[in-house]
């Protein structure tokens, strides 16, 4: 269980994290989603005591991280897979963690096995590792103490598609066994497959949070039609806001049922009409975090939206 309450971090006049509050519960994967520079990593560093918060509290199982007697046995942490001494071998990195935690030495080989690093790879120095191998090593370090809580910052970075699928399975299994997983990403698609709960952050503030189901429901509805102009007029008349998607789609803030009634009443033929789900969530996400976006795209064409 992770409980973050009104955590704020300021650097001079700049507020990196602004009264952030959320929970990550046992048995669930909580996705922490936000664009680059939104405050995800800072929040996570505060959570594990690497960065002092300006105000607010961050607790793990009711205690501050720095008060845990042997943190590695209770919380697995992976903040940056590249933050390793390049001259140490992969096996040695794990051995150092195993020794700090006071674990039996066999755990090192067990973990190497779990993350599919071969003995040859484990004997190579981290400097020669690909980012994907570093992520695997980082996940092994996080899991070696059999913690009940996992905190992972962008763990899918550098993993190939098979690696991402492997990690999803690993985290799903971990949460199903009662573990608490908090994982961050700047890619909605990467996280929505695995997350049960979502916390959206932009500009240092939480902009939305809830179960994935709730958030998807509130994401509006999508209609595809060859008569987009007519639908647009009908929606405007009904006072519903919308935005164009792809060549023939409109994403509305109304839910699917009232949207269907409006389009039916106007007698306009449609190709498709459905709850917007992830397309809507992505739209919502981009809207809510628009201030922190480094670039804005005028005409977005979400891949897969039309399939």
Counting contacts by CB under 8 A, is residue 106 touching other proteins? Answer: no
Question: Is residue 158 part of the contact set for other proteins (CB under 8 A)?
Answer: no
CB of 125: closest distance to other proteins in angstroms? 7
Q: What is the 3-state secondary structure (H, E, C) of 137-155?
A: HHHHHHHCCCCCEEEEECC
Q: Is 74 in the site for other proteins (CB under 8 A)?
A: yes
Residue 83 interacting with other proteins (CB under 8 A): yes
> Interface with other proteins includes 96 (CB under 8 A)?
yes
Nearest-angstrom CA–CA distance, 59 and 53: 12
* Residue among 12 and 87 whose Cβ is closer to other proteins: 87
87 binds other proteins (CB under 8 A): yes
Site for other proteins (CB under 8 A): which residue of 15, 50, 228, 238?
A: 50
Q: Select from 29-37, 86-94, 228-236, 237-245 the region that touches other proteins (CB under 8 A).
A: 86-94
Alpha-carbon dihedral angle through residues 130, 134, 137, 138, given to the nearest 10 degrees: -170
Q: What is the dihedral of CA 281, 284, 289, 294, to 10 degrees?
A: 80
Q: Residue 89 has what DSSP assignment?
A: B
Please state, in angstroms and as integers, the Cα–Cα distance from residue 225 to each residue in 63, 245, 263, 273, following that order: 54, 11, 10, 9
Binding other proteins (rule: CB under 8 A), the pick from 57, 70, 130, 236 is 70
Please give the Cα distance from 233 to 217 (Å, whole number): 24
Q: Is 267 in the site for other proteins (CB under 8 A)?
A: no
Residues in the interface with other proteins (CB under 8 A) total 49
Q: Phi then psi for 290, rounded to 5 degrees?
A: -55, -35
Of the chain, the end-to-end C-alpha distance in Å amounts to: 38
**Residue ranges binding other proteins (CB under 8 A):** 26, 45, 48-52, 61, 65-66, 68-75, 77, 79-80, 82-89, 92-93, 95-97, 99-102, 125, 141, 146-148, 173-174, 176-179
């Amino acid at each position: 269980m992770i409980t973050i309450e009104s955590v704020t971090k300021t650097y001079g006049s700049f507020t990196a994290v602004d009264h952030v509050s959320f929970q990550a519960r046992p048995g669930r994967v909580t996705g922490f989603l936000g664009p680059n520079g939104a405050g995800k990593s800072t929040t996570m560093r505060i959570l594990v005591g690497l960065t002092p918060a300006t105000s607010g509290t961050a607790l793990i199982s009711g205690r501050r991280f720095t008060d845990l007697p042997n943190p590695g046995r209770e919380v697995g942490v992976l903040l940056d897979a590249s933050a390793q001494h390049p001259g140490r071998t992969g096996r040695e990195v794990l051995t150092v963690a195993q020794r700090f935690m006071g674990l039996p030495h066999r755990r090192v080989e067990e973990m190497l096995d779990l993350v599919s690093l071969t003995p040859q790879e484990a004997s190579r120095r981290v400097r020669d590792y690909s980012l994907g191998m570093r992520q695997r090593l980082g996940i092994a370090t996080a899991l070696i103490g059999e913690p009940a809580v996992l905190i992972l910052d962008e763990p899918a970075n550098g993993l190939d598609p098979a690696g991402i699928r492997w990690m999803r399975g690993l985290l799903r299994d971990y949460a199903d066994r009662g573990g608490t997983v908090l994982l961050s990403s700047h890619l909605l698609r990467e996280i929505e497959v695995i997350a049960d709960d979502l916390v959206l952050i932009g500009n240092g503030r939480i902009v939305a949070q809830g179960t994935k189901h709730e958030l998807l429901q509130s994401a509006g509805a999508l209609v595809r039609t060859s008569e987009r102009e007519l639908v647009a007029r009908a929606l405007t008349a009904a006072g519903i806001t919308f935005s164009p998607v792809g060549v023939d789609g409109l994403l509305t803030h109304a839910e699917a049922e009232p949207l269907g009634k409006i389009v039916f009443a106007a007698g306009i033929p449609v190709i498709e009409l459905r709850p917007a789900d992830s397309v809507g969530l992505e739209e919502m996400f981009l809207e809510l975090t628009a201030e922190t976006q480094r670039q804005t795209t005028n005409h977005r064409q979400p891949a897969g939206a039309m399939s």
